[in-house]
Every structure is written in C-alpha cells, then in structure tokens.
Chain A
C-alpha cells in the first residue's frame, strides 16, 4: 500500500465569503444553494448538519464559509441524513435555530425521526428538501411532499431564487410560531438557477442567544394520561384539534393546534392571488412551476384575463384563496412538479364547497406526471382550456422530430461511464478478471449507491442490483440465505459505509452470511462533488482537522473473517488478495483504496502552486 500524501485541512481555498457577510440591501447574483444558505445565515442559524446529496449539496459549502466568519455557528457533514436531522433537532430543542438540507432520498432515511420529531413540537427548525422531477440527478422521481404530509408538517415552495432566500429566513419564524419543523421544497430546475438576490439583515442576536433546553418539557411521545386515554396518542391529537380535555393542553406543552397553523398559512401573503373581474380560466401554479406558467401565459398574451394563484405553501394549502379562484372560474389548471399533490387538495376543497369548476392537471392527464413540467407542456394544457393552439402546429412537429431523432436514430449515445483513470474502474476490472477465472458465470454481484453504480453498465457489467444506501450487503446476505450456490459479492463505497453500511455488515457477520464485501474506498463522497466524510483525510465540513476513522480497523472490530487493504492500481496485488479473500468462508472484506482520480488531480494541481 503506497503512502498517500497527507493533505492539509486547507487543501481547498475558500470561495468568496460574500454570501455570509453583512450586506443589507445589496444585490448579488447567487445560486439557489447559496440562497438557501443566505436565508439560514440571515435567520441567525446556529447548527447546520447534512449528508451530501444532489441538488442541495452546495448549501453546506456556503454555510461552512459562514461558520469560518461566525465561529459560534456549527456546520457539519453528518454520516447520514437521519443523523443530520437528529443533530439539528437537538439544536432546535436547545432553543437555537437549526437547519438541515437533504436530497429527496434523504427524506426516506429521515422519516422515522421526522414523524416523531414533529410531534415534539420543536421550534426554529427548517428542513430543505431537493426533489428531482425527471430524475436528472438521482435514481428516482419521488415526491417528498407526501412524506411531509405524513409527518403533518408544512411545505413551502419558493418560486424564485429571491424567494428561496426570503422564505428560508421566514420559514424559521413560521416554525417558531406554529412549533413544527418547516420544509422548504426545492426542485432540480430551481436548484441550479442563478439570479440577482437582494440581501437582508443578518440576525446575529438570534445566533448568539443563550442555550435554553427545557428539561421539564417532556420531550417524549408518551404522556402520562389516565385510562382510557391512550398515553402515546396525545401529541398527535394536536394535529387534529382533538384533545378531549382542555386541561391536558398544558401537558402537551401548550403547543399550537392544527387550526392555528391553518390560520397562519391562510394569512400569509406569499400566496399571491391575481383575480381579474371576469377571468376566462384559473391557474394555480405551485413553486418552481410558477415561472414557466407565467412564461406560457405571457406567450399566449392572456395575462390580464386569467386568474392566477401563486402557491408557495403546498401543504397545507390556503383554502380560502383556492375557494375564491374556484368561485370565479369554470375551470382551473393546477401546475406542479411530480405528483398531483396540490391538485388532490384542490379537488377536496372543490368537493366540499359543491363547486362545479373543472379541475385540470395531472389527475386528468392534461399534464404528464413524470418528467419536468416545462413551458410548452403548461402552454399546451392552457391552450386546450382556452380552445386554441399554443405553438404553431409546424413548430410542434419540428420539436417532436428533434426528440424522435435522439430517441430513435441516436439512441446509441450512452450515459456517462466511469471517469478516465477511475480507481473504482480498476478495482472492478481486477475483481471481474478474478471471478471470471475462478467461477465463470457463477457469481452474483450486488451493488450499492455511489459512483460504482457504473459497474452495472459496460465495460464491467459487474453489478446486478443497485437500490439504496447500505442495502447492498443485506441484499447479498439475503440472496445467500435464500440458498444461492453462486459466489456472492457485495460492493460498498467509503462514504456509504459510514452512511448505513455498518449495521448491515454487523448483521451479515452475526447471521453468518458467506460473501465478499468489496469496499471501493476513493476517500471522498465522489458522486456529489467530493465532500469529506469520517474516513477521508481527517477534515470536517469547515476544513478543521479531525480524527480519521479507518474502515479496516472498524471491520476488524466487527470480527469479519478476512480483511485486507489493496491499491486497485496495483493489478497483481489486488488480484492476489481477492483470490485469497474469496477462499475464506464467512464474511471477507477487501478494501480497494485510492483517491478519486478527479480529486487527486485537483490536490496535485494545488500542491504545484
């Protein structure tokens, strides 16, 4: 194992710190990630934690810069999203404003603590979630608003970068008012926009206020109520105004009730309603979709005769404003990204008020559910409502022809593969060579989430499954326990190992699985842009030196049956070790360790200077 040069904690220079400094009233061109960070800084956020995930991974980088200016601020890369959520929840319980941005899949990891945490009534607690219509950045196109609804917490959807900044700030205030976590939902199309944003004042006094963890609050779900009241249900009852005896409200911590939340949302002026005298149609445009909806309306030249509700709070919706639109128009188009989440709520409002307005959108097939909702899609649906074409027929045909060309004639252009020089490609090649030689076709390779997802495609074709973070080891164990006679290989990355690989590995060892775990350790979180993690270079999100955890030592403590670190660039060594490991009965671990080629290149470049 060749010695890798130790990289000092400051190996990357800080970008401009403008986004974190006091410039009230000044305008800066910033990205959405920076706007989220700026909103949190202005709110006087004290603790920020996250696990890297597109499209919100750069928020932490901006906040880390802020923490270098304001040392009381704590910013961390956590080992996974649930850990990040719990850390920030703790800070909120201690009376400080706390913030955790995550990707949409992160919400799945968080959901357990999210549902319970909402019940406890933390204040000044904001989550940002990056949803991914069209799955441009991730594997799945899930709509996290259903999870927010499940946890019964409000969702804000800003419609511009300025609003991202403003509403992130105000989300903290809202959270304090209604004593619930608040989610700011960002969609990929918005997440990578860049536009001028007017900065506001930074609330230093909020960040520097004293810790106030209330030990008498009973931050637990079980309240000691007398029979026949259920001891664990009380905190949930506040979401539905169903606490049976008034005196008990005090026990639940005098938390505001659902009707109060609804009232607050109803009064917010963020949900702008433009209501002409005799609108020919109505449009409810949610979050990012407001931009392209307005483009479509402008293109059609019907700005002054369409009722437009710009909806920022997609859960709960401001019912009175929706009623106003329904009363005045015969048909309403609901435009939102991914699932018909708001649309279904609007349908419910319409049904309860006996409205005969037609509600069009994803449920009626006027707008497709999958992929991003774009101007032309909205325009087409609007055009249909107004009885006219959006684009000229010829132009529509030309655009279709262009897409057909890509899908039919040029479909051989494949998505990206391993980057040139990738150590994981080298590691995969060594494994495939050994397995082909020893077992031929009788090998089952199970992947995990990370750059090594590329194992599923040529040239390696050495992974048959790829599900969620940390699932590879357990799926491989399951296949073994099901009775497979194949040699079983599971992959995991270094960052994924710390994210959720450890419990899975413990389980595999304890339950006597027989498999080879191939740890592809590129010493960074590669897929999302080289964020550090507990096993990489011993540096934190804020570029402080810290302890570096060694995966080899950890798996030794788990009592695996074989462990060895190899350099995947050394083909001879790697194949020899792999052969040895494959002979071992039980759980054997081979760690192929070499820094990501892109990162190594960058580090070398900086060292030359």
Chain B
C-alpha cells in the first residue's frame, strides 16, 4: 500500500447492491475516525450495467478516485466485471474477491450459441480463462466465492449477495474496521425490515475466512 493508503473498489452489475456496500463501509470507517473518501460510478438505472465504487482511506487524501492500476482490494460481484475492473484498476498483486455466478445478458451466453433474446451471442469466457487474463496482469491473488449460492441458501434469494461478498471481503482482514461497527451499520442502515437478513448473509460470508 502506497503511504498507508488503502484503495478499495467494489464492482458489479447495477441492481446488485454495490452502492449499499460502499455506504456501509464508508460510514463504518468514518465512525472509527478514519479519513475516508468515496465515489461511485453508477450507470443509467438499467439493470446489468457495469457499476463500481471507489473507496480510499489514508492520512492525506485529495481525491476519492483510485488511479488506474492502484486498487489494493477489488470486491467483484460478477466474474467478467471482476476482470474488466481489475484490468483497469487492479494493482499488481491486488487481492480480488470474486463471486462465481455469471450474468449473461450483455450479448453473451453460456454455451456461445444464442443470448437471452435468441440472437447469436459470444461465449461467456470460462473462469480459468478469466483467471488467466488476470494473472497475465500480475493479479493472481483471486479468491472465488460462491456468493450467489450462499445468498440463496442462507436467505432464500440472491438479494443479499452484496452482504455475503462484504462478509467474505472482511474475512480477508484487509479492511481496518471493527466487526461490531460494521454489523451495527448493517442493522441500522439497510432498508427497513431487512437488517437481520442482511446480517445473516454478512456472517455467512465472514465464515468463509479467506
């Protein structure tokens, strides 16, 4: 890390709860007296568009935006998104925590024949290929998490994927905040009535102990 700075990026497809995770992390870090800045890069309100957030922490900060090639940690909610964002922002040796559930609406299909609208599509690259591309850029610390599966198993829907990923990322011990602070914010600052479910999902991610 450059002069005690931590550059953390959260990336996924719009609708996956990326900005919620950003807000919880920023609130928790700030509450513990850390100097923290953040910025989102949201797309239009369409579903399944690349969305990512910059979070920066350090003693002397001017910009919340992580420079290209300087992210220490990347939390990716979808494999191809993980590759896209790592290729631009990933530091050599960056830690990437990546969900393994693929979303194929962007002109892609699993077997390469037709996409969801019945048109010829490109084949969604396999995970090995994605990891190979990342390794070629010096990013080989990639932790694969079955986040969507865990979310379904623990909460009955994929809506808590973001909390599972947050838990998984936290378990890497790279995020300098007390677990109680983060859990409090999860209880208080998620949509009304969803606190306990979100906490459960967070803890199931935490158990992965990456």
Interface, chain A (partner B; CB < 8 A): 13, 29, 54, 136-137, 189, 192-196, 290-292, 294-295, 298-299, 374-376, 391, 395, 398-399, 401-403, 405-406, 409-410, 412-420, 451, 454, 458-459, 526-530, 598, 609
Contact = CB atoms under 8 A, between A and B. Distances in A.
Interface string B21-36: 0110011001000001
Contacts of A376: 67-69
Given A29-B30, A416-B43, A398 B138 contact: yes
Contact of B63 (A292, A414, A417, A609): A292
B62 A291 contact: yes
B136 A527 contact: no
Interface of B: 2, 14, 22-23, 26-27, 30, 36-49, 60, 62-65, 67-69, 80, 83-84, 86-88, 90, 92, 105-108, 115-119, 122, 125, 133, 136-138, 192-193
Contacts of A299: 2
B49 A290 contact: no
Contact of A192 (B41, B44, B92, B108): B41
A374 B39 CA distance: 14
B145 to A, nearest CB: 22
A300 to B, nearest CB: 13
Given A29-B30, A192-B40, A458-B117, A416 B62 contact: no
A54 B14 CA distance: 16
B87 A405 contact: yes
Nearest to A57: B45
Contacts of A412: 107-108, 122
A137 B44 contact: yes
A192 B39 CA distance: 5
B69 A29 contact: no
24 contacts: A189-B65, A192-B42, A194-B23, A194-B39, A195-B36, A291-B64, A375-B65, A395-B92, A398-B69, A399-B68, A401-B137, A405-B87, A405-B133, A406-B87, A413-B108, A416-B46, A416-B47, A420-B105, A420-B116, A451-B44, A458-B117, A459-B115, A459-B118, A527-B45
A416 B48 contact: yes
A409 B136 CA distance: 13
Contact of B47 (A292, A403, A420): A420
Nearest to A194: B38
A598 B83 contact: no
Contacts of A189: 39, 65
A345 B64 CA distance: 29
Contacts of B38: 193-195
Nearest to A192: B40
B87 A414 contact: no
Contacts of B49: 415-416
Given A192-B39, A376-B69, 8 more contacts: A194-B37, A290-B62, A295-B62, A398-B69, A403-B88, A410-B83, A413-B84, A420-B116
Contacts of B133: 405, 409-410
Contacts of A292: 62-63, 65, 67
By Cβ-Cβ distance, the 8 closest A-B pairs, closest first, are A459-B117, A291-B63, A414-B107, A402-B87, A294-B62, A416-B49, A419-B47, A412-B122
Contacts of B118: 459
A420 B22 CA distance: 25
Contact of A54 (B36, B44, B47): B44
A131 B38 CA distance: 19
B103 to A, nearest CB: 10
